[in-house]
Amino acid sequence: GAGVSQSPSNKVTEKGKDVELRCDPISGHTALYWYRQSLGQGLEFLIYFQGNSAPDKSGLPSDRFSAERTGGSVSTLTIQRTQQEDSAVYLCASSEKYEQYFGPGTRLTVT
């Protein structure tokens, strides 16, 4: 069946602009997770959703970052007033129980 999909696959933006990253989870998966991975670094947890609510948003780096999930399906991660340190790969994962299944990621470059 279809896996987790993310769009766009690559995004280049100018410093100070806002960006939206999209995640389509596996159908039926109730939990959805956002991570950030900088070059050569580990996975940095950002936020997770159970249904449409976010029990844990402790990993969001600043108030420039926000995320929402609607209809228990698609999620959008928004970064406002992007900074160069926001450049990274943003990964989305979904799960039905405990195992998380990842999408291919969105590579964000802030120039």
Question: By the criterion CB under 8 A, which residues form the site for other proteins?
Answer: 4, 31, 33, 41-43, 45, 48, 50, 55-56, 91, 93, 95, 98-105
Whole-angstrom Cα distance, residue 10 to residue 54? 26
Cis peptide upstream of residue 8 (ω within 30 degrees of 0): yes
Q: Which is nearer to other proteins, 33 or 65 (CB)?
A: 33
CB 86, min distance to other proteins, A: 19
CB 56, min distance to other proteins, A: 5
Whole-angstrom Cα distance, residue 44 to residue 53? 20
Q: Which is nearer to other proteins, 82 or 106 (CB)?
A: 106
Whole-angstrom Cα distance, residue 9 to residue 5? 9
